[in-house]
Structure 1
Amino acid sequence: MLRVLVVGFGDIAGRGIRAILRHPQILVEECGTDTVTEAMAVTRPDVLVLEGGVQGGDALATRMAADAPGTTVVLCSAHRTDMRVFPASGGCFTRPLSAQALIDIVRGGTG
Protein backbone atom coordinates (compact mmCIF):
# COMPACT_ATOMS: atom_id res chain seq x y z
CA MET A 1 0.00 0.00 0.00
CA LEU A 2 1.28 3.46 -0.90
CA ARG A 3 1.11 6.02 1.90
CA VAL A 4 0.54 9.62 0.81
CA LEU A 5 0.67 12.60 3.15
CA VAL A 6 -1.19 15.66 1.83
CA VAL A 7 -0.05 18.90 3.46
CA GLY A 8 -1.37 22.43 3.60
CA PHE A 9 -4.35 22.28 1.27
CA GLY A 10 -7.65 23.91 2.22
CA ASP A 11 -10.85 21.90 2.56
CA ILE A 12 -11.98 22.05 -1.07
CA ALA A 13 -8.53 21.49 -2.58
CA GLY A 14 -7.88 18.69 -0.07
CA ARG A 15 -11.09 16.98 -1.14
CA GLY A 16 -9.97 17.26 -4.75
CA ILE A 17 -6.58 15.70 -4.03
CA ARG A 18 -8.24 12.86 -2.07
CA ALA A 19 -10.66 12.25 -4.96
CA ILE A 20 -7.83 12.18 -7.50
CA LEU A 21 -5.84 9.71 -5.40
CA ARG A 22 -8.77 7.50 -4.40
CA HIS A 23 -7.59 3.94 -4.99
CA PRO A 24 -7.64 0.80 -2.82
CA GLN A 25 -3.82 0.67 -2.85
CA ILE A 26 -3.33 4.30 -1.77
CA LEU A 27 -3.75 5.50 1.81
CA VAL A 28 -4.10 9.29 2.00
CA GLU A 29 -3.49 11.16 5.25
CA GLU A 30 -3.49 14.92 5.79
CA CYS A 31 -1.93 17.51 8.06
CA GLY A 32 -1.17 21.21 8.20
CA THR A 33 2.16 22.75 7.32
CA ASP A 34 2.76 23.49 10.99
CA THR A 35 2.83 19.76 11.83
CA VAL A 36 4.42 18.32 8.69
CA THR A 37 7.74 17.38 10.33
CA GLU A 38 6.00 15.44 13.10
CA ALA A 39 3.54 13.84 10.67
CA MET A 40 6.38 12.74 8.39
CA ALA A 41 8.11 11.04 11.33
CA VAL A 42 4.95 9.23 12.38
CA THR A 43 3.42 8.26 9.02
CA ARG A 44 6.66 7.73 7.03
CA PRO A 45 4.85 8.33 3.73
CA ASP A 46 6.01 7.17 0.33
CA VAL A 47 4.85 10.48 -1.16
CA LEU A 48 4.38 13.95 0.31
CA VAL A 49 2.01 16.21 -1.65
CA LEU A 50 2.61 19.78 -0.52
CA GLU A 51 0.53 22.89 -1.27
CA GLY A 52 2.78 25.05 -3.42
CA GLY A 53 0.86 28.26 -2.90
CA VAL A 54 1.84 28.67 0.76
CA GLN A 55 4.59 31.13 1.55
CA GLY A 56 7.87 29.27 1.73
CA GLY A 57 6.44 26.23 -0.09
CA ASP A 58 9.46 25.85 -2.36
CA ALA A 59 11.87 25.97 0.57
CA LEU A 60 9.73 23.55 2.59
CA ALA A 61 9.58 21.08 -0.32
CA THR A 62 13.35 21.25 -0.76
CA ARG A 63 13.91 20.72 2.98
CA MET A 64 11.43 17.82 3.18
CA ALA A 65 13.09 16.14 0.19
CA ALA A 66 16.48 16.44 1.90
CA ASP A 67 15.20 15.38 5.34
CA ALA A 68 13.16 12.41 4.12
CA PRO A 69 15.24 10.34 1.72
CA GLY A 70 13.12 7.67 0.12
CA THR A 71 10.05 9.92 0.03
CA THR A 72 8.89 11.56 -3.19
CA VAL A 73 7.90 15.19 -2.60
CA VAL A 74 5.38 16.84 -4.93
CA LEU A 75 4.81 20.58 -4.76
CA CYS A 76 1.60 21.64 -6.51
CA SER A 77 -1.12 24.24 -6.29
CA ALA A 78 -4.18 25.52 -8.09
CA HIS A 79 -2.17 28.76 -8.38
CA ARG A 80 0.51 27.10 -10.52
CA THR A 81 0.44 25.40 -13.91
CA ASP A 82 3.15 22.90 -13.07
CA MET A 83 4.26 20.56 -10.32
CA ARG A 84 7.77 20.39 -8.90
CA VAL A 85 8.72 16.82 -8.12
CA PHE A 86 11.57 15.68 -5.93
CA PRO A 87 11.73 11.91 -6.60
CA ALA A 88 12.80 9.55 -3.84
CA SER A 89 15.84 8.74 -5.97
CA GLY A 90 17.01 12.37 -5.86
CA GLY A 91 16.97 15.40 -8.11
CA CYS A 92 14.04 17.55 -9.14
CA PHE A 93 11.88 17.94 -12.24
CA THR A 94 8.68 19.70 -13.27
CA ARG A 95 5.57 18.39 -14.97
CA PRO A 96 2.44 20.17 -16.16
CA LEU A 97 -0.21 20.12 -13.45
CA SER A 98 -2.88 17.49 -14.13
CA ALA A 99 -4.75 14.84 -12.20
CA GLN A 100 -3.21 12.07 -14.33
CA ALA A 101 0.33 13.38 -13.81
CA LEU A 102 -0.22 13.43 -10.03
CA ILE A 103 -1.55 9.87 -10.08
CA ASP A 104 1.38 8.69 -12.20
CA ILE A 105 3.94 10.36 -9.93
CA VAL A 106 2.34 8.94 -6.78
CA ARG A 107 2.38 5.48 -8.33
CA GLY A 108 6.07 5.80 -9.07
CA GLY A 109 6.11 7.15 -12.59
CA THR A 110 7.33 10.43 -13.95
CA GLY A 111 3.94 11.85 -14.85
Structure 2
Amino acid sequence: MLRVLVVGFGDIAGRGIRSILRGPDILVTECGTEGMTAVVAGVRPDVLVLEAGPRGGGALAARLTAGAPGATVVLCSAHRTDLRVYPASGGCFTRPLSERTLVESVRGAG
Protein backbone atom coordinates (compact mmCIF):
# COMPACT_ATOMS: atom_id res chain seq x y z
CA MET A 1 0.00 0.00 0.00
CA LEU A 2 1.35 3.39 -1.04
CA ARG A 3 1.03 5.95 1.78
CA VAL A 4 0.38 9.49 0.54
CA LEU A 5 0.20 12.53 2.79
CA VAL A 6 -1.48 15.61 1.29
CA VAL A 7 -0.33 18.77 3.12
CA GLY A 8 -1.54 22.34 3.16
CA PHE A 9 -4.42 22.37 0.69
CA GLY A 10 -7.78 23.96 1.42
CA ASP A 11 -10.91 21.87 1.80
CA ILE A 12 -12.01 21.89 -1.84
CA ALA A 13 -8.55 21.30 -3.30
CA GLY A 14 -7.87 18.59 -0.72
CA ARG A 15 -11.08 16.78 -1.64
CA GLY A 16 -10.16 16.99 -5.32
CA ILE A 17 -6.71 15.54 -4.76
CA ARG A 18 -8.10 12.71 -2.60
CA SER A 19 -10.61 11.93 -5.34
CA ILE A 20 -7.91 11.92 -8.04
CA LEU A 21 -5.62 9.63 -6.01
CA ARG A 22 -8.35 7.30 -4.76
CA GLY A 23 -7.48 3.68 -5.39
CA PRO A 24 -7.29 0.32 -3.62
CA ASP A 25 -3.51 0.48 -3.40
CA ILE A 26 -3.20 4.10 -2.17
CA LEU A 27 -3.89 5.30 1.35
CA VAL A 28 -4.36 9.08 1.35
CA THR A 29 -4.09 11.07 4.57
CA GLU A 30 -4.45 14.83 4.72
CA CYS A 31 -3.32 17.51 7.12
CA GLY A 32 -2.87 21.24 7.31
CA THR A 33 0.44 22.91 7.90
CA GLU A 34 -0.20 23.20 11.66
CA GLY A 35 1.29 20.19 13.43
CA MET A 36 2.37 18.61 10.17
CA THR A 37 5.73 17.44 11.49
CA ALA A 38 4.00 15.14 14.00
CA VAL A 39 1.65 13.84 11.29
CA VAL A 40 4.58 13.07 8.98
CA ALA A 41 6.33 11.18 11.78
CA GLY A 42 3.16 9.21 12.53
CA VAL A 43 2.12 8.42 8.95
CA ARG A 44 5.63 7.87 7.54
CA PRO A 45 4.44 8.56 4.00
CA ASP A 46 5.95 7.24 0.79
CA VAL A 47 4.82 10.42 -0.97
CA LEU A 48 4.18 13.97 0.23
CA VAL A 49 1.89 16.07 -1.98
CA LEU A 50 2.41 19.66 -0.91
CA GLU A 51 0.63 22.91 -1.66
CA ALA A 52 3.45 24.95 -3.15
CA GLY A 53 1.68 28.30 -2.95
CA PRO A 54 2.91 31.39 -4.75
CA ARG A 55 6.38 31.13 -3.19
CA GLY A 56 7.04 27.62 -4.49
CA GLY A 57 6.90 25.54 -1.30
CA GLY A 58 10.61 24.73 -1.17
CA ALA A 59 11.02 25.60 2.51
CA LEU A 60 8.02 23.48 3.47
CA ALA A 61 9.29 20.57 1.38
CA ALA A 62 12.72 20.70 3.03
CA ARG A 63 11.20 20.76 6.52
CA LEU A 64 8.88 17.83 5.86
CA THR A 65 11.36 15.60 4.05
CA ALA A 66 13.70 15.85 7.02
CA GLY A 67 11.05 13.93 8.95
CA ALA A 68 10.27 11.55 6.08
CA PRO A 69 13.57 10.33 4.62
CA GLY A 70 13.04 8.29 1.48
CA ALA A 71 9.75 10.00 0.60
CA THR A 72 9.02 11.42 -2.82
CA VAL A 73 7.80 15.02 -2.75
CA VAL A 74 5.29 16.40 -5.24
CA LEU A 75 4.77 20.18 -5.16
CA CYS A 76 1.70 21.55 -6.88
CA SER A 77 -0.51 24.60 -6.58
CA ALA A 78 -3.35 26.52 -8.15
CA HIS A 79 -0.73 29.24 -8.61
CA ARG A 80 1.26 27.15 -11.11
CA THR A 81 0.63 25.25 -14.35
CA ASP A 82 3.19 22.58 -13.56
CA LEU A 83 4.12 20.30 -10.72
CA ARG A 84 7.60 19.61 -9.42
CA VAL A 85 8.60 16.12 -8.38
CA TYR A 86 11.52 15.37 -6.08
CA PRO A 87 11.96 11.58 -6.21
CA ALA A 88 13.34 9.84 -3.14
CA SER A 89 16.30 8.80 -5.29
CA GLY A 90 17.27 12.46 -5.77
CA GLY A 91 16.97 15.13 -8.41
CA CYS A 92 13.95 17.09 -9.53
CA PHE A 93 11.77 17.22 -12.62
CA THR A 94 8.83 19.32 -13.74
CA ARG A 95 5.67 18.04 -15.40
CA PRO A 96 2.52 19.78 -16.67
CA LEU A 97 -0.14 19.92 -13.96
CA SER A 98 -2.95 17.46 -14.69
CA GLU A 99 -4.79 14.64 -12.99
CA ARG A 100 -2.82 12.11 -15.02
CA THR A 101 0.60 13.53 -14.17
CA LEU A 102 -0.29 13.81 -10.49
CA VAL A 103 -1.29 10.14 -10.36
CA GLU A 104 1.77 9.07 -12.39
CA SER A 105 4.09 11.08 -10.14
CA VAL A 106 2.60 9.57 -6.98
CA ARG A 107 2.51 6.02 -8.34
CA GLY A 108 6.08 6.34 -9.59
CA ALA A 109 7.17 6.41 -5.96
CA GLY A 110 5.80 2.94 -5.29
SS in 2 for 1:30: strand
TM-score (norm 2): 0.90
What is the alpha-carbon root mean square deviation over aligned residues? 1.7
Equivalent pair of 2:37/2:67 in contact (CA under 8 Å): no
TM-score (norm 1): 0.89
Which shows bigger deviation, 39-48 or 57-66? 57-66
Q: Give a deviation string over 1:11-57, Cα, whole Å, max 9, x none.
A: 10001001100101100001111222111100000000000116572
Q: Number of matched residues?
A: 109
Q: Give every structure 1 segment of 4 or more consecutive aligned residues whose post-TM-superposition deviation is greater than 2 Å.
A: 62-69
Please state how far the C-alpha of 1:66 moved relative to its aligned partner. Answer: 4.7
| Structure 1 residue aligned with 2:94 | 94
| Structure 2 residue aligned with 1:28 | 28
Q: Which runs of 5+ in 2 are unaligned?
A: none
* CA 53–88 in structure 1, closer or farther in 2 if over 3 Å, else same: same
Q: Which runs of 5+ in 1 are unaligned?
A: none
